[in-house]
Amino acid sequence: MSGSPVVVEGLAGGYAAGADVLRGVSFTLEAGTITAVLGPNGGGKTTLFRAMLAELPAQRGVVRLVGRPAYVPQTDRTRLDFPVNALDVVLMGAYSRTPSWRRLARADRDAARACLDRVGLADAARRRFGALSGGQRQRVLIARALLQDSPVVLLDEPLSGVDAVSAARIDAVFDELRAERRVLLVATHDVEQARRWDRVVCLNGEQVAFGAPAEVLTTAVLRSTYGAELVVLAGGERAVAVDHHSH
Amino acid sequence: MLPEAFDAPFMQRALLESLMLAGLAGVLGSWIVLRRLAFFTHGVGTAAFPGLVVAGPAGVAPQLTGLAAALLYAGGVEWLGRARRVAVDAATGLVLVGALALGVILASDVFESGAGVDRLLFGSLIGLSDRDLWLTGLALAAAVVLHIALRRSWLAQGFDPGTARALGIRAELADRLLLLAITSAAVVALDAVGALLVTAVLVIPAATVRLVAPSVATLQAGTAVLAAVEGVAGLWLAYELNIGPGPAIAVLGGALFALVAVVTAVARRWT
Amino acid sequence: MLDWLLDPFSGALMQRALAEVLIVAVACGPLGVWVLLYRQSYAAESISHAMLPGLVIAALAGAPLLLGAVGGVIAAAVAIALAGRDERLGGDVGVAVAITALFGLGAVLALSPDVPARLGELLFGDLLGVTGGDLVEAAVLAGGVAVALALAHRRLALSVFDRAAAPSLGARPARWELALLALLAVCTVAAVRGLGNLLVVALILAPGAAALNVAPRLPAALALSAALATLAGVLGLLASYHWEVAAGASVALAAVALFALSLFVPSRTAPFDTQA
């Protein structure tokens, strides 16, 4: 459908010409939806995000996005010894819309505080970023994405290894963003989580399936996606994937 | 057989020293390259500089004060790294530049002219005493003994630190002895090539041979031979140009390294 | 007491030396913070040591030192980049060979002619011999570095703090990593007249390291680093005048001493991340 905020068609590519990591990825996402990206480690989830950000060295196919997407990477990639507090990190979301010679706008500073409040970290604004827990840091990065105010938000395993309080808060923010008619694309290992959302993309180097969870999340599809990493629970109808991450 | 430059007694001492340093380069230089200790070697030499400056006025052997300064440096870097207030490469850089600045300040009191400082930084052909030669020989003997005793541990630590410990080898002690051996080698090389260019004799020949040699044994033998050749040629060049041996050996070694690197890279491309 | 502080700077010679260190400190201080955050200390040292042949050639040819410094830095950067690329040796070995060879070449060139170059001044600086023209050069270069750092501040921060997300936030990391190295080269050229190529790294790394130990946030660290670099300059010149020791070395040692003092400030900050 034209007019959809996210259109991906025949996307393929990799980090060097002739060495494809992704093949045959095609999906269309509507406003106000949350879409899970499932797949094993090395299956291309992060590569997909890089391609959607036009950051993949060798890619072909079509990627059409409304506006510049916000990207929430995994927090274990950020520098924890950097001299910034939580509010400083959130304010980075306003950098791209501020010319280099101008101070950050008052409105942006206020909005940053509001974003921290939305993720439940209003009183952590002045705390050093590296001193926060993994779940708190993940929430700060999400607050940064909120400040960017993008129609499309890409999140790379935001709930991985995160404490229960943070996870609940993050879930609530996702629902708010969906209500605001934004598009969320969330890489995750949590198949149960994916069942509660609107769409699922299964990726294992190539796209195995795309569609509503009820249709896509069958044992057969999951087996194609995860291969040996799949664990089938008693009853044979539900399966979980093994999460290799730790924060 | 040798050019007439080597007729003078001081040149013959320099020649003997150079050959013994070539032995050290052979034994330890290989380990320096294999265990990625080039920067440590450079640091030890540079850190010895303030020690060298005060040795003369204090009437003490420069090797002694040089060794003390070098050990302070090694200990200081380790302490800073453990305190984790600054990264290791920054800590090393700061300690070294502090040592250099301190040495220069001390030298403005000690030396009337800049020539004295040049000698400490770049080495000198004259002024090698019997004691210097004996100490170099001692360092060489110690290095050989340690190599024979500890080479398996040094090799294992280089490939896979975790496994080495599991195999029951006293890996950490062996590594400390390696660093001590390198420190001693740098200290005895100081009067010949100077505080700033110990890597010219201890690292460059080994790096050059490493580009072509696969095994430790051939690496050591080849390095010793190359270091000897570069050392003798460097001495001759230094004599002709009337400069310290350090820079001459560095330039010759560097040029040869570049040549071998280019040739092997090209050969690799065609096979 | 006031006399002790002001007397040294009553003459034109010391006034120019003071102006030189103040000008250079404004650039070296903040740049050093970035060099440390980007973990490029080794690059800073390597470039300054390996640039010696350029300095010597300029000195022997009677050409402006600025030209020699620029040429030397470019040659050093190229040699180090080539040597560092060789995977057979790995780690710092190739770079160490390149630095040693170039440094040795500089010494050979300096010491062998009948009228040798003033090697001591090239290595350790000629702070007391600074002319008005030198001050103008330093002001242009250091001023350029300071302005560039101010304008590039946010992109530099993004590229090093969160390399993965930086493009989505408005900065392409590879470009800014390169930009920092270029600014490092320019700052080295600016400072080498006063401190010499062996000691210049003291004014780049020490104030920044001290500031990062003490300041909890980046803007404060940058400002504090500039202030500490300036303080090191003043203290060094005072020591040089009153105790009659080399000026450049005194400034360098003062900077390192300030860093040592900063280690005694209780750490409110997280331990430095030592993983590469």
Spell out a b/e string for A178-189, using b for 16 or more CB atoms within 10 Å of the CB, else e. Answer: beeebbbbbbbb
Q: Give me the sign of the Cα torsion angle B231, B237, B243, B249.
A: negative
d(CA A199, CA A237) in angstroms, rounded, equals: 19
Q: What is the mean pLDDT of residues B131-139?
A: 91
Domains of chain A: 1-69+150-247 (3.40.50.300), 78-149 (no CATH)
Is C206 in Cβ contact with B87 (below 8 Å)?
no
Is B93 in Cβ contact with C41 (below 8 Å)?
yes
Is A78 in Cβ contact with C162 (below 8 Å)?
yes
**Residue A246's pLDDT band (cuts 50, 70, 90):** very low
In tens, the pLDDT along B192-219 reads 899 999 999 999 999 999 988 778 888 8
**CA of A150: how far to CAs of A25, A35, A143, in Å?**
23, 16, 12
In tens, the pLDDT along B40-78 reads 899 999 999 999 888 878 788 888 888 999 889 888 887
d(CA B135, CA B17) in angstroms, rounded, equals: 10
Beta-bridged to residue A23, according to DSSP, are A206
Residue A197 has pLDDT above 50, yes or no: yes
> What distance in Å separates residue C212's CA from the closest CA in chain A?
8
Using the Cβ of C119 and the Cβ atoms of chain B, whether some distance falls under 8 Å is answered with yes
C216 contacts in chain A (CB < 8 Å)? 83, 85, 128
In tens, the pLDDT along B217-261 reads 888 999 999 999 999 999 999 988 888 899 999 999 999 999 999
Q: pLDDT value at position A80?
A: 87
A74 contacts in chain C (CB < 8 Å)? 164
Is C169 in Cβ contact with A95 (below 8 Å)?
yes
> What distance in Å separates residue A70's CA from the closest CA in chain C?
6
Choose among C112, C123, C124: nearest Cβ to B243: C112
d(CA C34, CA C25) in angstroms, rounded, equals: 14
**Residue A247's pLDDT band (cuts 50, 70, 90):** very low
DSSP structural state of residue C162: -
In tens, the pLDDT along A21-47 reads 888 899 999 999 999 999 888 778 889
Q: What is the mean pLDDT of residues B136-156?
A: 89
Residue B87 has pLDDT above 50, yes or no: yes
Choose among C152, C158, C220: nearest Cβ to A92: C158
**CA of A160: how far to CAs of A15, A226, A246, B143, B209, in Å?**
25, 17, 7, 52, 49
> What distance in Å separates residue B41's CA from the closest CA in chain C?
10
**Nearest chain A residue to C151, by CA:** A100
**Residue B168's pLDDT band (cuts 50, 70, 90):** low
Pairwise pLDDT comparison (B116 vs B215), residue with the higher score? B215
**CA of A238: how far to CAs of A192, A230, A235, B168, C8, in Å?**
9, 11, 7, 48, 83
> What distance in Å separates residue B25's CA from the closest CA in chain C?
14
Q: In sequence order, which residues have a C-beta less than 8 Å from that of residue A176 and are 6 or more positions away?
A: A118
Q: pLDDT value at position A87?
A: 96
C201 contacts in chain B (CB < 8 Å)? 93, 97
C256 contacts in chain B (CB < 8 Å)? 94, 97-98, 101
Residue B1 has pLDDT above 70, yes or no: no
Domains of chain C: 15-261 (1.10.3470.10)
Is A53 in Cβ contact with C153 (below 8 Å)?
no
**Residue A107's pLDDT band (cuts 50, 70, 90):** very high
What are the pLDDT tens digits along chain C (276 aa)? 888 888 888 889 999 999 999 999 999 999 999 999 999 998 999 999 999 999 999 999 989 999 999 999 999 999 988 887 766 777 689 899 999 999 999 999 999 888 888 888 999 999 999 999 999 999 999 999 999 999 999 999 999 999 989 999 999 999 999 999 999 999 999 999 999 999 999 999 999 999 999 998 999 999 999 999 999 999 999 999 998 899 999 999 999 999 999 988 887 655 544 443
Question: What does CATH list as the number for B8-125+134-270?
Answer: 1.10.3470.10
